[in-house]
Amino acid sequence: MNIVRFAPSPTGFLHIGGARTCLFNWLFARSTDGKFILRIEDTDTVRSEKKYLDEILESLKWMGLDWDELYYQSKRFDIYRDYAEKLLADGKAYKEDTAIIYKVSASCKVRIFDVIHGEIAVDTEQIKDQVLIKSDGSPAYNFCCVVDDALMGITHIIRGDDHISNTPKQILIYEALGFKLPKFAHIPMILGEDKSRMSKRHGATSISEYKKQGFLPEALVNYLALLGWSAGNDREIFNLKTLIKEFSLKRVNKTAAVFDIEKLKWVNGHYIKSLDLEALTDLIIPYLKEKKYIDDSYDRSWLTGLINLYKTRFQTLDDFTSFTSFFFTENVHYEQEATEKFLKGTDIADNLERLKSVLENIDSFEIKEIETEVRKLVDTLGIKAGNLIHPLRVALTGTTVSPGIFEVMKFLGKDRVLTRLMSVIKKIRMRADMLDKLSGL
């Protein structure tokens, strides 16, 4: 049976790179009917914190990555000390004060047979003696990692290629303890778009941040799978079941993967479009409540219709709150470029005022009736439809981009449309009067 592990340290939140490593391990285990172990490497008792542990566990659950066994290194200190004492007794290690240190033999070569990178050879002259137990009694990373991997029967160690430098050190300890070597597979790093190592300057780095921004777990998992792995064709959308069926270490790339936030948004948008409307509404409601756009008395039927109107336009759940803010607040943000282009001049104010009068007389404020009356007015005014509809759109939404304006008017409602038009007409006339007065100076 193939047995793999993911071993995060609770000294920080789950990083996007760590999540991808976890995913590859999980997929390998599930695709081969193997076992996936989660091991919390919390030997650093000073920096390890419960808030980080909770976030790591919650993020993995959110992504749908379950585990078969769970271990905490902080509960295994006695095991590590026993194996360190064994090496000491065998003359393979020595004491330095209270620390136990493994003696690295000189003039030897350590060979790594990496599943992805092939053979890697390292001269032991480049490796210094390895600390097994630190002076404070805690185990060193390379030592407890080897002990745990061996005792837990790990058959494949799949991790980032930034760990390649640790592998020869660990192989020496495997051999010293007489443990069977696992297979190593070092997967490529994830880089930012500037080809430097992924960091906060490239945007969000933790899984919880992406969750907060409104990315769906299915989309994030799908995108992470594409960072360094390919199914061997042009497909880019995979659910977990498909990933399990098609995943293979043989298709993992050797070169670093570049994280593209726009590609992630595209994938997320695909999953949003595919979601059941009621389920999507349930996901969006917390974002609207957080911004105080709605409370518990909201009209679900109205909201579901609005979400359906915008469903193909937003790529994250938080995008929806940005795109639709003018439906929930009277403090509309008017884009300067839009107002300069479409809301200047008394002729615009006159047209909008005529429109306001027409709309006031509509009994049933439904899409078809609104459109009919607007187009009648266009014909009466003898202007192109865009000369009325573009200013109308900006007046109601603050921007030049929205779904169909008649649908927008329906969801805004008659009273709000009339109030907003009246406010904009007044501002256009005030500005025109001011400019007239200034031109007379």
Looking at the annotation, which residues are catalytic? Answer: 200
Tokens of 152: 């837990």
Tokens of 20: 């991808």
Q: Beta-carbon neighbour count of residue 321 at 10 Å?
A: 18
Establish how many alpha carbons lie within 13 A of residue 284's alpha carbon, considering only the half-sphere containing its beta carbon. Answer: 31
Kindly give the pairing relationship between strand 99-102 and strand 93-96. Answer: antiparallel
User: Of 347, 219, 193, which is closest to residue 274 (Cα–Cα)?
Assistant: 219
**Kindly report the CA angle at 225 between 224 and 229, in degrees rounded to 5?**
125
User: Of 64, 84, 177, 60, which is closest to residue 138 (Cα–Cα)?
Assistant: 84
d(CA 169, CA 178): 15
**Kindly report the CA angle at 159 between 41 and 67, in degrees rounded to 5?**
60
C-alpha distances in angstroms, 8 versus 150, 164, 303, 391?
Answer: 18, 17, 40, 55
d(CA 423, CA 327): 16
Sequence-ordered alpha helix ranges (H) in 8-108 = 16-31, 50-63, 77-89
C-alpha distances in angstroms, 233 versus 187, 238, 253?
Answer: 20, 12, 14
